[in-house]
A and B are shown apart, each in its own frame.
Chain A
Amino acid sequence: MTSLYLQSNNCIMEIRRDVFQAIADPTRRAILSLVAIQAMTPGAIAENFNSSRQTISKHIQILNECELLHQTQNGREIYYHLNPEKMKEIDKFIEPFRKMWDDRFNKLEAIMKNYKK
């Protein structure tokens, strides 16, 4: 387990580009919930926040790099959509955590069944 932590500390750049890090930030989660409803231009997204347009654009860029967003061009405007396939990965990542506890508890149950209270 320890080595995993060390590994993650050594690869900060890679982590930034993974989906889990992307959704750890509240602004980025808010952006995702906005574009989940409808495709939006960067300007329209930025209007929903008090942060500077540059900050929001940075967040969009990270989400884009993580493939949580994909873009389409409509004339001069770029529209951002939510990538539902990538969002499914986030659902999947919690499953090994659940399974770890499920395995432990199955074991607990099997062991304790041999005893009387």
Chain B
Amino acid sequence: MRPNVTRFQLLRAGALLGVFVAAMSVGTPAPWAAPAGSAAALLAVPAVVDAPGDPTDVAGWVAYRTARDLPALPAQATVLYRMGVEADLKGESENAVRLWRGAEELDPGYLAPRLTLISHLLGRDPSQGLMEIGRLAGLARTSFRLQHFFTTYLLYYAFSALFLGTLAVALFLCWRYRTRLLHVYQEMLSRRLPAPRARFWAWILVALPFALGLGVAVPAAFTLALLWSYLRRSERAAFLALVGMLVLSPMATRLFDELSLPARPNAPPFYALVELDQQPFDSARLTRVSALAQQHPDNPFLAFSEGWLAQRGHRDEQAQAAYERAQRQWPQEARIPNNLGNIAFAEGNGSQAEIHYKRAIELAPRWAPAHYNLGQLYTARFRYAEASEEIAQATALDFDLVRGLQARSSGQSSPALAEEWLEPRTQWEAVFGENPAHPGAAVMPPAWQPWFESRGLAVAIWTLLLCALGIALGLILHHTLPARVCGNCAATVCRRCATRRRDQVLCEACAALLSTATTPEFGRLLLFKRRRETRRRLGQVRTVMAVVIPGFGVLAYDRLLVGWFVATCTALTVFLLLSGHAPFPYDPRVFAEAPRPLSGIVLAGLALTYFLSLFTYLSLHGRAREADASVDTSSGKARERLKRAA
């Protein structure tokens, strides 16, 4: 598999950013997952502990899990989480926190209680909340599944919000310039139709692209292409941004198809085995994985999975053979020699184990488990000085890991050894490597599936064709009959209908008003009154719209970038609040009534966006009024004259 490090690094960075975003769609418990850096106490002898009868007996369940050396107790964790939510709804906050922490301990990979704790503690005990965030970030650093989940969510919401924000700006521009198209269509149709009918059909022609069944974005792009001659530079940039998004949309859908690989049940390279490290040994599963590995000998992931499962079933020979097959294809993966070293150690072959551990350290000098295991080997062979040095190094690299392993080793006859599932980097490389074609249709987020814009290459072709046609048609229309605005009331006019007073172009209504004036001064006064009245009416409509729709007021004052930002933020928060769920959820979606963690923060974000929009609009509105007032004041003398004339 060809490594794709750059994309991997970007994605890993994105994964950490996605923690918050992902929280919004996780509202339900998880059944599996084990602690990062978990140690398998291969040689430990478990004490006999019975399962407690009370589901809320957190200490009992934790002792049960430890005694049975189970990676996780997902069902019990789910129940604890639910009980915690129910306790919180009853106002028993302390009990809720206890139950959530219990759920977290029973299933360390369970995201919902962690996010709920963060959401709960941030408002009450911020230091605890920040510590929870730190724990989650630590988990995300080592867990491919969590990284995959956060990355997918971040990309999903980022793409959706960016697209919807840009689309909102494009639709606003279509609405703002609609009268230009309407007027030109109407003038052309009025050669063959009476004016009211021409106006009716002009509306039909403007709305027609949106009725073709090509979604909303492609017709909006086509309409803006028709209006290209009238658009300002920033508005053209918005149009090009929309076209760019539509043309590049196949890449987004392809990206999600690639990101679906870990979740695909029958697709290489993972065959839905990325959760294997969180599951207890099952001989049927080992048989299935062995068969798959034999079927696909060139798939190192399957070889490693077989080795991992066989090692858990104490089938050392099979495990060793499988790991060696994996090592031939992944010679740079330090986990393989480490696990081979553990097998050799368990078999009593210390010198071979030492070779494997040293190989693992050579491949990943800053990876703590190999140092720890080598330290344990040296201890078993009475080489205490070297053992102390290795364990000190392991402690310096990962204190929690060493502390956890030593706690598990206490009272046992043999030390617990450290081993880890594949490094996230290796799995990311597998996601974006050259994978054979997989069965089934391309996968994309369910919320996107009904959108025409998610149809891949067809959308790009339609967009390019229609935009080229729109620009050509728009230029012809503009050349044939350019539309302008009335110099007084800003209504749309053209050379056929405009009345000219010196260089001032007036619409029919303004010209009719002017014709009633007996003197030029009185005419100017009438025009001024009409202009003021028109502006006042439009201002009222604009204010109402600005109050109702965040971003509208800012866009109306030509602050396109700020408007786009507000629209995107609004789309993001509304999408987070309203969308059912995003693709590839980390936890199973159970306990449907669970409140969404961090929804309060998202609501606060929405409110902040709304007030930012409103405040910016009011500020711009005030400035515009001041400018109008200063014009009035400067022309006070003239106004007096006009009043006298009136």
Do the two chains belong together in a single complex?
no
A: which residues have CB within 8 A of B? Answer: none
B: which residues have CB within 8 A of A? Answer: none
